[in-house]
Structure 1
Amino acid sequence: MKNVARLSIASLALAGSLGASAATFDPRETFAPFTYPQQATAYRSGSGMPGPLFWQNRADYELAATLDPVKNTMVGKATIHYTNNSPDALDVLWLQMDQNRYTPDARGNFTSGRTPKQHTDGYRVATVTLEQGGKTVKASYVVADTRMQVRLPEPVAARGGKVSLTIEYSYDLPGDFGGRTGFAPSKNGNIYEMAQWYPRMCVYDDLRGWDTAPFLNSEFYLEYGDFDYAITVPANMIVAGSGELVNPDDVLTATQRERLAKARESDATVMIRTPAEVTDPASRPSKTGTLTWKFRMKNSRDVAFGASTAYVWDAARINLPEGKKALAMSVYPVESVGNDSWGRSTEYLKASVEHFSTKWYPYPYPVAVNEAGSAASGMEYPGIVFDPMKAPAKPLHMVTAHEIGHTWFPMIVGTDERRNAWMDEGFNTFIDVYEADAFHHGEFAPKRDSEYSPKGGNPVDEILPLLADPDAPNLLIGADMVKEKYRHPATYFKAALGLVLLREQIIGPERFDPAFRKYIATWAYRHPSPSDFFRLMESEAGEDLSWFWRGWYANNWQLDMAITKVEGAVVTIENRDQLVMPATLRVTFDDKSTLDIRVPVETWQQHKSFDLTVPGARKIVAATIDPDHVIPDRDRSNNSWPAAAAPAAGKAH
């Protein structure tokens, strides 16, 4: 996620009054057979599991780069060892060249309002060579916008064929206009947030072959592999990167190594480099020249790093399931010191990783880093996140939890962010909700109030303007087709609220949670499609959810339930718009007692109106559908009988 200004759902223009006359509900449309976006095949089964012939290609990387903070350039060499596990021989390779996004004629400059304020000339490719079949040759290639096609002298064989590709390159660093990468000043030197800093393999999969969607503004789709990378910087700089630092003796002082060892055994935050030491030359093992920092990251889809002379550095132990451990670290400038800012960053990071690991799936990497800057504030990469250096405590907790939450979506579950951003941002926002409740007894909860509704409104009401807006996109549309005004309301909020509704109103936590965990574990380090998610959740939770996939994901349908009359023991309820939801009917009797009756979605398969007979002989004096205010009903004025009996709205969770 790029941390841009939030847009409240309530700020979207309504297409018309939420209380306007209802559309005509047609059960045949709502409950028609659902056509999944992707077909079931031998590669992907009807249960949402990988099929018996499932395959996935692999890219392992050896990277070396030198950062020049005087010229603000990067010079690098990338060797990619590519394994073709597909059933197809490949006569070309495609790579992502994302630094070309900053050129004046980049396609992304014409697609949205998020155009860079300045430009660079993108990647300068020096050499491209291939090692194949024991021979090393100069490669033929063509660069098109943010992609490079490498033409092979002979195809890479199917089912295990290998080729190695080496690219030598350089580029000018984008400044604070980089969006997801760049550099910006701090009191004690520039802070460099380095992402998309090497050519990366495109994915070749069973859904469309080479997935060569250009980098416009949406994020990434990448293969998994092991990374060994080396970053050379001036000796007075600190580097914080994805994965594990494998040469600490070369780049850290003895004192820093001792403090790190202590932090690995401490639940309390331990200072590795104090604010006072930032300007002390003794905090670096060498005062002149350069040092090379070497990192290793296994089973990842990407690596990124931060570098600066300005970093304060602290760390603490992360406690993982089954007695495993990892290390949480934060690096930030002296301007960010203090518990009202970054002084609690590692606490937030540690707690988030521990919660997500216990609740959903264990954190797989040895280190998690929160890095403070301003060029790429609010952006996620495997093992490291870039967050805003000026964030106060509550927003910092929120953005830290959200960005490290991306470890699960899409770093572990490797969805295609350029096509299905809702499976990335929406799923991650969903798990954030429960992390906020859990952190420090809800210190910053509820997450929804700060993220979705600045006024603290009910999220099922906050979504209503989006559902009523005829120009709003559905969730299955391509990520780059979503206008900026809808990006957060739809991709983040609606997608997350859909999962909240599934968990709390439609399926129930006792069935949703195991199914969602099964989805994560099944597709860990793989590439699920929307249909894989839909099918697995149905199969594991034991529900036909086609009506919900159609109404909430493929369309922006609205919900309007109503009570039309009460005669004796019979309460007549109606569904007046195209979305359906299970709901609770609460009846109040003349002795002031109440009875809750669950109305399942199956009620509406054959009915537009349904007469519900309330058991017992007590006189009904009031009735309300959805009394706890937990479903997104667009017109609540017709939810109660008599109208004046409507209870105070509850708060959805």
Structure 2
Amino acid sequence: MNKLFTLTGLLLFSGSLAFAQNTQNNPGSNHGNKFEQLGTILPTPNEQRTASGAPGVKYWQQRADYNIKCELDEKNLLLTGSETITYTNNSPDPLTYIWLQLDENEHSTDKNANYQDATKMPAIGTIQNLDQLSSKANNGYGINITKLTDATGKNLKYTVNKTMMRVDLPVALRTGQKLIFNIDWNYKITDRMSVGGRGGYEYFPTDGNYLFTMTQWYPRLCVYSDFQGWQNHQFTGRGEFALTFGDFKVQMTVPADHLVGSTGECINYSAVLNPTQLSRYNTAKTAAAPVEIQTLAEAKAAEAKKSTAKKTWVFNANNVRDFAWTSSRKFIWDAMPQKIQANNNTVMCMSFYGKEAYNLYSKFSTRAVAHTIKTYSDFTIPYPYPVAQSIEAANGMEYPMICFNYGRTDADGTYSESTKNGMLGVIIHEVGHNFFPMIVNSDERQWTWMDEGLNSFVEYLTEELWDNKFPSKKGPAYTIVDYMKLPKDELEPIMTNSENIARFGPNAYSKPATGLNILRETIMGRELFDYAFKEYARRWAFKHPEPADLFRTMEDASGEDLDWFWRGWFYGTDPCDIALDSVKFAKADFPKEVPAARSRMVKIDKPAVNAFEDISKIRNREDKKISFYVDKNTAAQDFYYKYDRGMVNIDTTVATKMEGSMPLDVVPAAEQDKYENKFLYELSFSNKGGLVMPIIVEFTYKDGTKEIDRIPAQIWRHNELKTSKFYVKDKEVASILVDPLRETADIDTSNNSWGGKAKESKFKAYKAKAGGAVRGQSVGKNPMQQAASK
């Protein structure tokens, strides 16, 4: 179990934004700025990228093909793999090295990017937090490269830099040449429910089983492009992925009673499925509704009896930028086809989910997958792949042909409407990512909005066509008003690198989606907008677009001058003076009782519909060509379909009392010795000069020893004026000095030091119980339960 603390802190010592530039042509005047063209901002057109926004006659991009074999060791929570990569240099440049991403190093204590966020001494937290801050040892996570050779078996020289690996080539790889090389590797799989991240495992203590989501799991090529060369920015956990297209053949060896869902098509179902499962799968290919290939009863039986044998699943995926998979014996599996008329493609829409999600996923998930790929195909390009899948994993993340979503019922099988709508929204959003950025392959690590914003916009269109009552939050103009009203120091332009965004959701998701919807509904009109947006998707499918390519294509294909809009909707010399403003100090205390439980009254949810009927909903109803999915598919109608339309009368004034105690235990006496002699410090800094720089802190302890901590400059990225850092020390600090060797050209060193007597405060520590709410599950009594109790 986890242990938890509370804190009373004492202030011991007290010593005071950069955006993407919106260049103004006439800054001293009241004109010639907002409606000026973007020529001074956008990159110069060339033979790779034209002024029209289309790829040029000399456009090129690299290619990487993978042949991977891996084995999942469930007992030891270890993944071992070997891969052969064929890398084709289509660029005009000779390459003397190549870069690969090692994203799994994100979880390592000594291999990660170490781009720290500001931290504070919390009032309540777990002693696991203190362990993480105290320990400097290697935690064993991160990818281990055991062999790297060329096609002949000769070792290749390589260098690992945090989450990136450079492979040095003995001979330059010239235009048109291929490099074939082999990598063997392994890594310890993380518990993503406790350490976070997109991939790893979730453990279910009630049945003793695991659900694995294998993502960013293999060394993979970085993008080398015409507009920036190698995209080898470190992976910090936020900015997602810039990747290279290619073909994959992947073999996964897993426990024999696991089901595997994956990018691509399985080419050996006849070897890994039993005759009943294989027959059901073949039936599902032509079914009008989802067919269960593994049933709820069968999944429960598999949970209870664990196999010690193994099976190998083999998948092929062509012309994809990435590959992900999932494996568990907990899965129910259903499937149905969706025909995409524009390219005559029949897509197998599938869902994998545990019993915890059955009443939601069995009814909605695969239907939502089918609706999403059809609707996105209508607004962009026809879906080209053979498979689209939704996996319930208390998550929300996307990969080619497969995505991980949330949505679990209450223990009695009921669910709230917010849980249902949240599930539908995340499935539509993550399946929609197949188009942006899996096909229209933008650079997510640099421009998150080109991935999340464009996808959120088409998600909105898709939600609107699922149900005219759907309470969409990203798209209607009024929903972005509160964000737009925030003080300027809390905002940054959409054209901001993903790592530097403070309010990530509104900036990268909602505001771009809202802007595009305003263009569609208010400025351009649906016909002009839809034509131009579809042309952008067509031009840049399976290619690497940049923001200018979108902006230029939308104008080129519509005949509308939109520079004023991009400028207004989408787009500020200082010395170094870092001051140590204050120091807080505390010692741990161990209360003999846990805090008293808090209670609150929770009312029954009212129908989850938008309070205001926006223009899109009204026009969609008036358009006789539009029909809504849930109206014509009665199988997708549930209790809340009637509830939202006033067909079910529920007293929403009824309130139930919710006891909200923190899951805490008193820390056992045997464990207190480890923490009672720790010294806890919070250092607060201010950037008085304006220039962001690393913070170098020298601690002098009372025994005369010294220690230096070097904090990367990225600690300022969410607040360029003030920041803080929380430390756990084994010894009491006598004095602190910032920049002891004067490495940062600090212009005023009089505010760089602290020293003095520290008065102890109390720091209450507890032991945290396991469990807690799971993402995507409802809280409190829901209307379905209230109706049943009548």
Q: SS of the residue aligned with 1:517?
A: helix
Alpha-carbon offset, residue 93 of structure 1: 0.8
Is 2:183 the counterpart of 1:167? yes
Alpha-carbon contact 1:219-1:417 (below 8 Å) kept: yes
Q: SS of the residue aligned with 2:141?
A: coil
CA distance in 1, matches of 2:430, 2:287: 23
Matches within 5 A, 1:152-551: 152-158=169-175, 160-176=176-192, 177-186=195-204, 187-188=206-207, 189-216=209-236, 217-280=238-301, 288-322=308-342, 323-339=344-360, 342-374=362-394, 377-390=395-408, 392-439=419-466, 441-443=467-469, 445-448=470-473, 458-466=478-486, 468-483=487-502, 486-551=503-568
Alpha-carbon offset, residue 342 of structure 1: 4.8
CA distance in 1, matches of 2:543, 2:332: 36
1:591 aligns with none
CA distance in 2, matches of 1:221, 1:363: 21
Normalised by the length of structure 1, the TM-score is 0.75
Q: SS of the residue aligned with 1:110?
A: coil
2:142 aligns with 122
Residue identity opposite 2:164 in structure 1: R
Q: Deviations over 1:123-145 (max 9, x none)?
A: 111000112xxx44210000000
CA distance in 2, matches of 1:518, 1:525: 14
Q: SS of the residue aligned with 2:43?
A: coil
CA distance in 2, matches of 1:109, 1:174: 18
Unaligned runs of 5+ in 2: 1-26, 121-127, 133-138, 410-418, 573-790
Alpha-carbon offset, residue 107 of structure 1: 5.0
Q: SS of the residue aligned with 1:538?
A: helix
CA distance in 1, matches of 2:420, 2:274: 31
Alpha-carbon offset, residue 343 of structure 1: 3.4
CA distance in 1, matches of 2:29, 2:203: 58
Q: SS of the residue aligned with 1:261?
A: helix
CA distance in 2, matches of 1:464, 1:389: 31
Change (3 A) 1:114 1:395: farther
CA distance in 2, matches of 1:364, 1:175: 34
1:552 aligns with 569
Alpha-carbon offset, residue 83 of structure 1: 0.2
Counting aligned pairs with the same residue, the percent is 35
CA distance in 2, matches of 1:460, 1:238: 42
Alpha-carbon contact 1:60-1:225 (below 8 Å) kept: yes
Q: SS of the residue aligned with 1:407?
A: coil
Alpha-carbon contact 2:302-2:330 (below 8 Å) kept: no
Matches within 5 A, 1:59-208: 59-106=64-111, 108-112=113-117, 120-131=140-151, 135-158=152-175, 160-176=176-192, 177-186=195-204, 187-188=206-207, 189-208=209-228
CA distance in 1, matches of 2:347, 2:536: 24
Residue identity opposite 2:203 in structure 1: P
Change (3 A) 1:112 1:369: farther
Residue identity opposite 2:468 in structure 1: G
Alpha-carbon contact 1:420-1:476 (below 8 Å) kept: yes
Change (3 A) 1:307 1:25: farther
Q: SS of the residue aligned with 1:27?
A: coil
CA distance in 1, matches of 2:243, 2:497: 17
CA distance in 2, matches of 1:333, 1:114: 36
Higher relative contact order (CA 8 A, sep 6+): 2
Residue identity opposite 1:222 in structure 2: L
CA distance in 1, matches of 2:508, 2:117: 16
Alpha-carbon contact 2:251-2:314 (below 8 Å) kept: yes
Matches within 5 A, 1:35-50: 35-50=40-55
**Cα RMSD for the two superposed structures:** 2.5
Q: SS of the residue aligned with 2:408?
A: coil
CA distance in 1, matches of 2:555, 2:162: 40
CA distance in 2, matches of 1:242, 1:79: 18
Please identify, of 160-169 and 102-111, the stretch whose mean Cα deviation from structure 2 is larger: 102-111
Residue identity opposite 1:210 in structure 2: W
Q: SS of the residue aligned with 2:436?
A: helix
2:36 aligns with 32
Change (3 A) 1:114 1:120: farther
Change (3 A) 1:546 1:278: same
CA distance in 2, matches of 1:201, 1:516: 29
Change (3 A) 1:318 1:120: farther
Alpha-carbon offset, residue 155 of structure 1: 0.7
Change (3 A) 1:87 1:283: farther
Q: Deviations over 1:358-412 (max 9, x none)?
A: 23211121111111113xx001011111112427321111100000111111001
Alpha-carbon contact 1:253-1:283 (below 8 Å) kept: no
Alpha-carbon offset, residue 165 of structure 1: 1.7
CA distance in 2, matches of 1:179, 1:88: 35
CA distance in 2, matches of 1:282, 1:121: 28
CA distance in 2, matches of 1:460, 1:68: 47
Q: SS of the residue aligned with 1:94?
A: strand
Change (3 A) 1:71 1:321: same
CA distance in 2, matches of 1:482, 1:122: 26
1:576 aligns with none
CA distance in 1, matches of 2:114, 2:365: 35
Alpha-carbon offset, residue 267 of structure 1: 2.3
Alpha-carbon contact 1:474-1:553 (below 8 Å) kept: yes
1:643 aligns with none
Change (3 A) 1:174 1:236: same
Q: Deviations over 1:204-229 (max 9, x none)?
A: 00011111111112100000001110
Q: Deviations over 1:51-73 (max 9, x none)?
A: 11111110011111101111001
Give the paired residue count: 516
CA distance in 2, matches of 1:107, 1:283: 38
Alpha-carbon contact 2:475-2:513 (below 8 Å) kept: no
CA distance in 2, matches of 1:25, 1:250: 74
Residue identity opposite 1:168 in structure 2: D
Alpha-carbon contact 1:342-1:393 (below 8 Å) kept: no
Alpha-carbon contact 1:36-1:531 (below 8 Å) kept: no
CA distance in 2, matches of 1:239, 1:338: 21
Normalised by the length of structure 2, the TM-score is 0.63
CA distance in 2, matches of 1:501, 1:157: 47
CA distance in 1, matches of 2:404, 2:303: 27
CA distance in 2, matches of 1:32, 1:344: 48
CA distance in 1, matches of 2:552, 2:385: 29
